[in-house]
Amino acid sequence: MSGFDHTKYSAFAPIKMANRTWPDQVITHAPNWCSVDLRDGNQALIEPMTVAQKQELFKLLVKVGFKEIEVGFPAASQPDFDFVRWLIEEDQIPEDVTIQVLTQARDTLIERTFESLKGVKRAIVHVYNSTSKVQREQVFKLDQQGIIDIAVNGAKHVKYCAELAPETQWTFEYSPESFTGTEMEFAVEVVNQVLDVWQPTPSHKAIVNLPATVEVSTPNVYADQIEWFCNQVNYRDAIEVSVHTHNDRGCGVAAAELAVMAGAQRVEGTLLGNGERTGNMDVVTMAMNLYSQGIDPKLDFEDMDEIVRTVKKCTQLPVHPRHPYAGELVYTAFSGSHQDAIKKCLDLRNNEDKWEVAYLPIDPTDLGRSYEEVIRVNSQSGKGGIAYTLEQDCGFQLPRWLQVSFSSIVQSFAEHTASVVSSEDMKKLFEATYMSHEQPYRLGAYTHSRNTYDEIIAKLQGPTTSVEITGKDHGALNAFTQALSEWTDTKIDVQEYHEHALSHGSDAQAISYVQVNINGKKLESAAIHEDTLTSSMNAIVASVNQYFNLVELAVA
């Protein structure tokens, strides 16, 4: 019998709000960020970080620009305690960065926490206890008053310990843990009682953090909870409302964004979303979402690859290749129509313009990624991606008619090898298909004169002997094809022609592309030479050679 049964679950009851205002708000500036990588993130690892890994990650967090960093749970873990001591004793905390530590609301743990902080210039002491119905009734077996007592006692003891160390600038933070599962009136009641102990003022605020410890509803419901709380709580102008969302329903970032619209001023999260279960809300995604809207995120992700490398190294966890903004594949287009659209937009783009490129919400170069990574060619790719790659890597600007012809060749190659086609492979394929037809005829020296008509007198090296051919017509290429046509006794007609200078390499060279109809068969070729006319004539000879090689194959 299957255990898959939705009737086992009940829906989260939305809160009744008549005049919610958050849906009309627009985020115009970044919230205050607090990284919890070294605490929440660390707690969730298979192998907790070593002190060395914590040191490396701390340096990265500082470099990215976090001004508040929760560095551990020193009363609960000796490595965390040692790490906090290292930060203080080795003077590792920059002038503009404040460290934060977490503690449960229990006297002995609070005392040990303050011990770890001895000598620090500034610190946030973050005290929490769980307030939800489930936790009250099933975990703590306490009524609401019992939970309030834990919170108030904790707040008092934090205040007491801080008064014993007046040389440090203390900020207090309280979290009603499992806030989202707590009746809203009760959450406000607990917080008000804690604030009555701390007596925060607008010039010395306390932080009230409202965690979605488990994400249990759609983000709009969380936003309602935040707005309702902000409207009801006392000391509103003396507290900084912080949110801390998890990603159980996959909406951790959305919930934090909507919470900011609903009045939250501060957001706790981790780089790339490491954290308990499905993770914490991902600061990279939320900050980059702001960035992509033209808002300064106050964090710097310029070297995204280094960030990804360091996070992976310290957490020993992989990063999904499609992780927003940071994944390996997120600036890569595989589908032909996407590649086509991207190429068109990039070609038209002027660097002073606002960013507006189809399929690319931000400019990958902002994060140290490159355009070359945008296009990868596989059997799903169209002519746009192929043309883009050849132009970027070889300088070949294929005309449309040749893009069509060449893309079918690249596609069958990709299907055959069942993999991504590198630009090197693509260049080899192009040369083999259009540029390697040197038998049976080869163009030697020639002269071009122009009176009423263009006249071409050219030496042609044939399979056995060399001959001189002559042709007269309007245009040198017509004169040449006429001579060639007569001598080989075939009907030769140049149907498409395109040439351009090649910028790759030191000597100026030209490449010519031709499509020639020979006795009813269309053949494409290309050739490179310093002289444009020579490259065009060589391309025509290459098509003639293709024709005779095909005929020979048919006869054989």
What is the C-alpha to C-alpha distance for residues 96 and 74, in angstroms, rounded to an integer?
22
Q: Which stretch binds Zn ion (CB under 5 A): 32-40, 66-74, 217-225, 527-535?
A: 32-40
Least Å distance between CB 213 and Zn ion?
Answer: 6
Bridge partner list, 496: 515
Pairing of strands 266-269, 32-35: parallel
40 interacts with Zn ion by CB under 5 A = yes
Residues 319/307, Cβ–Cβ less than 8 Å: no
Q: Which residue, among 231, 213, 282, 229, has the nearest Cα to 254 in the 3D structure?
A: 282
Residues 504, 517 contacting (CB under 8 angstroms): no
Residue 75, both tokens? 């009363």
According to the 3-state scheme, what is the secondary structure of 36-63?
A: CHHHHHHHCCCCCCCHHHHHHHHHHHHH
280 annotated ligand binder: yes
Least Å distance, CB 175 to Zn ion, is 9
* Contacts (Cβ under 8 Å, ≥6 apart) of 436: none
36-44, 113-121, 381-389, 457-465 -> range binding Zn ion (CB under 5 A): 36-44
Measured from the CB atom, the residue of 285 and 538 that comes closer to Zn ion is 285
338 marked among binding-site residues? no
Of 40 and 340, the one with the shorter C-beta distance to Zn ion is: 40
Coil vs helix vs strand at 103: strand
* Per-residue tokens: 246: 């998890």
Residues touching Zn ion: how many (CB under 5 A)? 1
By CB under 5 A, tell whether 177 contacts Zn ion. Answer: no
Q: Is 296 annotated as a binding residue?
A: no
| Choice between 40 and 227, CB closer to Zn ion | 40
268 lies in the binding site for Zn ion (CB under 5 A): no
Subset of residues 202 to 221 that bind Zn ion, contact rule: CB under 5 A: none
Note whether 189 binds Zn ion by CB under 5 A. no
Closest contact distance (angstroms) between CB of 351 and Zn ion is 42
Q: How far is the CB of 244 from Zn ion (least distance, A)?
A: 6
For the bound state, the minimum distance from the C-beta of residue 258 to Zn ion, rounded and expressed in Å, comes to 18
391 to 410, contacts with Zn ion by CB under 5 A? none
Q: Which residue is nearest to Zn ion (CB)?
A: 40
Task: Give the nearest distance from C-beta 36 to Zn ion in angstroms.
Answer: 7
Q: What long-range pairs does 427-436 form, CB within 8 A, spacing at least 24?
A: 427/390, 427/393, 427/394, 430/390, 430/394, 430/396, 430/406, 430/526, 433/406, 433/409, 434/402, 434/406, 434/513, 434/524, 434/525, 434/526, 434/542, 435/525, 435/526, 435/527, 435/528, 435/542
CA distance 85 to 123: 13
Q: Which is nearer to Zn ion, 174 or 441 (CB)?
A: 174
Closest distance of CB 147 from Zn ion, Å: 19
Q: Is 244 annotated as a binding residue?
A: yes
Structure token pair of residue 370: 């490159």
Beta strands in 178-265 (DSSP E): 206-212, 239-245
Instruction: Please identify, using beta-carbon distances, which residue of 275 and 384 lies nearer to Zn ion.
Output: 275
Q: How many residues does the chain have?
A: 556
3: Cβ contacts below 8 Å, ≥ 6 apart: none
Q: Which residues contact 313 (CB under 8 A, 6 or more apart)?
A: 53, 56
Q: At 336, is the secondary structure helix, strand, or coil?
A: helix
Which residue lies nearer to Zn ion by CB, 40 or 454? 40
Stretch of residues binding Zn ion (CB under 5 A), selected from 39-47, 135-143, 361-369, 491-499: 39-47
Decide whether 40 or 173 has the Cβ nearer to Zn ion: 40
Write down the least CB distance from residue 268 to Zn ion, Å: 8
Contacting range for Zn ion; rule: CB under 5 A; set: 5-13, 40-48, 220-228, 524-532: 40-48
CB of 424 to Zn ion, least distance (A): 47
Q: Does position 173 bind Zn ion by CB under 5 A? A: no
Contact between 257 and Zn ion (CB under 5 A)?
no
Contact positions toward Zn ion, by CB under 5 A? 40
In the annotated binding site for Mg(2+), the residues are: 40, 244, 246, 280
In the annotated binding site, the residues are: 40, 244, 246, 280
